[in-house]
Chains A and B, each alone.
Chain A
C-alpha cells in the first residue's frame, strides 16, 4: 500500500469531530489589558469573550500575529461564543492560509484556534490603545465610521 495512504489511515479519526475546547488562551502578560477593557466605563465591552473576539479581528485586519509566551486560559470558548462567531474565527485562518483542509482533523482545528489566539494577542494592545489610549474622540464613533467605510469599500469592489 502507498505509504502516504498508510499514514493517512493511521492518523484519521473514526469520524469527524469538531474541536471545541473549554477555553481559549491569552498571554498572561496582557490579562490586565483585558480586565481594563472589561471594567472601564469608557469601554463599550462588557464581556471578556467580546474583547478577545474583537482583539482577534483587530490583529487579523492589521496582520499582527504574536505568539503567546505564557498561555493563560482566560476566555470561555465552549459556551462563550455562538457558532456564528466560531465560524468567523475559522474564516480568518482559512482565508489567510487557504486552509479549508485544516478543518478535517482535530489537530488542524486546534492549529486554527492557536492562530486566532495569536491574532488576539497581536490585536489586544492595538484595541486597548484604540479604546482607552490617547486617541481623540469616542471609540464607538470611530468604529462606526470605520465599519461604514469598510462596507462601502467592499460594496464598491463588488460593484
Chain B
C-alpha cells in the first residue's frame, strides 16, 4: 500500500515561496480536501504531483499557463542578473512501511536583456529506505515506474470534469485504450513486434540466396504492408463512423428539443422507430443465421438418408446373424491362441483343443472386436436420422414464418419512419430544414462508412489468410534445402513463439475485459442511487460499453452527466482493482459538472466507493457546498483552503476555516 505523507512545493507556478501540505490520513478518515475557486491552483497541485513523478504536467488546461513556465513568474521577474531560481516539488511516500522521498527541481535564470530562461531538463532525486538506511536511487525514474507506472497513473490521478466525457460517446476508443493500459499489454506487443522484425530479417537473409525464397519473402513483406495500411485505414474509418454517429445523435437531440410546431413529437417518433427497426433488424439477422445453421447441420442427414439406412441395415443384419455382439471376441481368442492356454488352464498350444479354438477363431468375424463401436454407431445414426429428418419440414416452416413475421413488422415500421421523416421535412422552419438535411447527409455517409469498414475487414481477413499460406509455403521451401536448416529451425522457433504470444495476448485481453466488465457492473449497480432503473453493464469485444435498463433496452446515450460520472468511477474502480496497485486517489473537481441533487448523492457515495483508500479531493467552493461537506466530513482527516492573491499572483495553502 502506498500513502502520500506530504507534499512540499516551492516556486512551482502560482505556489510562490515554500508550501508544506500534510496529506497523511488519520485512522478511518481517508479523505483530504483542498478547496479553492477556479484559478486558485487546484489543477496545478495535481500537475505538481505528476510533474514530480514523471516530469509531465498532465492537466495543463490553458495555453497562457503553458507559456508562463514552471517557475513562479514573479519569482523569475524578481531575479537579479545572473541569479538562479529554482522550482521544486517534493513528495514523501510511505511504500509498504518504507520511506520514499521524490523530488524534482527545475532551474531558471535571466539572460542578457532580461529574458527569462527556464532550463528544459529537470533534476530528479529519489531517496529510499533499504533496511535502516536511506539511500539515493541510482535510476530514480525507474524506481518511480516500479511503484507507480506511468500508463496507469490516469486511473489514480484524474480530472473529474474529464470523467464525464469517458462514456459520452458510444464506441469511444477510450475504453479500449484504458483496458490496454491497465493490462500493460504494450509490453507483450513490443515483444511480438520484435519477434516479427527478427523473422523478417531471417527471411530476408535466406531469401538473398534463393530466387524462390526471395519471391516468397517479397510476397510476405508486400502482404504485411497491405495489411498494415488497411488496418490504419480501418481504424480511421471506425473513428469516422463513431464521429458521424455522434453528429447524427447531436442533431437528433437538438431537433428533439425544438418546441416549435410538432418537431419534437416527430423527432421522438423517428427516434423510437429507429430503435425499433434496429432491434428488429438484429433479430432478423440472428434468426436468419440460426436458420442457415439449422439447414447446414441437417443437410448431411437428409442427403445421406439412403447411405445411413443402408449402413444401419448392414449392422442390423450382422446383429441378426449373431456376428455382433459375438459369443467370443476375436481379440480374446487370438490372445488365448498366442498364450497357448485356455482360461480354464487347458493346454491349447497343440492338438485337438488348439484345432477347436482355431476353428472357433476362424468362424468369428473380424468385426467382432468392433461390435461395441458398431452398435454405438447404429444408435447414433438411428437417433440422428429420427431426430433430424422427421421434424425437418416443420422446423423449416417455423423459421420461414418467423422471418416473414419480422419482415412484415420491419416493412410497417419503415413505412411509418419514412412518413414521419417526410412530415418533418415538410415543416417550414429554416433551421429545422437545415438540420434535417445535414442529418440526412450524415446518415448517408454513415451507411457508406459501414460498407467501407466491412470491405476493409474482408480485405484484411483475406490478406491475412494469404499471408498465412505464403508463410507456410516459405517454410516448406526453406525446409527443402539442407542449406537452410538453421534458418528453418530459427523461423520455426520464432513463428511458434509469435503464435503463442498472439494467443496469450488474446487470452489476457479477453479475460481482463470480462473481469473489468463484471467489476464495472458490480460497482455501478451498487453505487447507483436509482436502484431499479438499470439491470447491467456490458463491454463487448469491440470495447463498446452498453448499459441496459430493466426493460432490456440499451440506454447509455440517455444517462445524465451524474450517472455517466458514476459509470466512469465504476469503470475506473474496476481498472484499479485489476491493476493490482494499491495507490492513493487524487480527483480534481469531482463534482464540477454535476447538478445539485446528484452532487449530494455522489458525495454520499464517495466514502463507500473509496473506503480505506487515501483520497485527495481538489474541489471548487461551488462543489464543496455545506451539504457536500457534511456528507464527507466524518471521513475527512485534513481540510485546506487554497487562497489566491491576485495582486501577488500567489497561492497560499491554509487550514480550512
Contact = CB atoms under 8 A, between A and B. Distances in A.
A41 B369 CA distance: 47
B58 interface: no
A44 B335 contact: no
Given A44-B295, A54-B299, A140-B292, A91 B308 contact: yes
B307 A60 contact: yes
A87 B315 CA distance: 13
A19 to B, nearest CB: 11
B335 A14 contact: yes
Contact of A45 (B296, B304, B367): B296
B302 A151 contact: yes
B335 to A, nearest CB: 7
A3 B299 CA distance: 46
Given A8-B366, A91-B308, A154-B306, A39 B462 contact: yes
B241 to A, nearest CB: 18
Contacts of A96: 307
Contact of A148 (B311, B334, B380, B393): B393
A30 interface: no
Interface in A105-159: 105, 140, 143-144, 147-148, 150-151, 154
19 contacts: A14-B335, A16-B373, A35-B462, A35-B465, A41-B454, A44-B295, A44-B296, A53-B300, A54-B296, A61-B303, A87-B380, A88-B381, A91-B304, A95-B311, A100-B311, A104-B366, A140-B291, A143-B295, A151-B389
Contact of A5 (B295, B298, B358, B370): B358
B381 A91 contact: yes
Given A91-B304, A92-B307, A96-B307, A105 B461 contact: no
Nearest to A148: B393
A104 B308 contact: no
B377 A88 contact: no
Contact of B369 (A16, A53, A61, A147): A16
B282 interface: no
Contact of B302 (A41, A60, A85, A147): A147
Given A39-B465, A95-B306, A88 B370 contact: no
Contacts of B373: 16, 18, 103
Nearest to A61: B303
A103 B362 contact: no
A1 B308 CA distance: 39
A13 B560 CA distance: 73
B374 A100 contact: yes
A1 B211 CA distance: 62
A37 B299 CA distance: 17
B330 interface: yes
Interface in B309-334: 310-311, 314-315, 318, 330-331, 334
Contacts of B335: 14
A34 B519 CA distance: 41
Nearest to B399: A144
A2 B521 CA distance: 76
Interface in A1-40: 1-2, 5, 8-9, 12-16, 18, 31, 35, 39
A2 B377 CA distance: 33
How big is chain B's contact interface, by range? 35 or more
Contacts of A39: 458, 461-462, 465
A98 B314 contact: yes
Given A95-B310, A101-B367, A150 B305 contact: yes
Contact of B396 (A100, A144, A154): A144
How big is chain A's contact interface, by range? 35 or more
B334 A12 contact: yes
Contacts of A100: 311, 314-315, 318, 367, 374
A2 B291 CA distance: 58
Contacts of A5: 358, 361-362
Nearest to B302: A147
A88 B300 contact: yes
A154 to B, nearest CB: 5
Nearest to B381: A87
B303 A12 contact: no
A96 B308 CA distance: 11
Contacts of A50: 296
Contact of B370 (A16, A53, A148): A16
Given A41-B458, A88-B300, A140-B295, A12 B331 contact: yes
Among A50, A98, A143, residue most surrounded by chain B Cβ atoms (within 10 Å): A143
Interface in B223-247: none
A75 interface: no
Contacts of B292: 44, 140
Given A88-B304, A154-B306, A143 B299 contact: yes
Contact of A147 (B298, B337, B381): B298
B384 interface: yes
Contacts of A14: 331, 334-335
Contacts of A85: 300
B123 interface: no
A18 B380 CA distance: 15
Contact of B374 (A35, A103, A144): A103
Contact of B366 (A18, A92, A105, A147): A105
B180 interface: no
Contact of A90 (B302, B358, B377, B461): B377
Interface string B513-538: 00000000000000000000000000
B446 interface: no
Nearest to B458: A39
A68 interface: no
Interface in A33-81: 35, 39, 41, 44-45, 50, 53-54, 57, 60-61
A5 B337 CA distance: 11
A158 B210 CA distance: 64
A54 B461 CA distance: 23
Given A83-B380, A90-B377, A100-B318, A154 B305 contact: yes
B252 to A, nearest CB: 30
A88 B337 contact: no
A94 B334 contact: no
Contacts of A90: 311, 377
Contacts of A84: 380-381, 384
B304 A57 contact: yes
B462 A144 contact: no
B99 interface: no
Contacts of B365: 101, 104
A104 B370 contact: yes
3 tightest CB-CB pairs across the interface, nearest first?
A: A95-B307, A16-B369, A95-B310
A1 to B, nearest CB: 6
B392 interface: yes
Contacts of B306: 95, 154
B581 interface: no
Contacts of B334: 9, 12, 14
Contacts of A16: 331, 369-370, 372-373
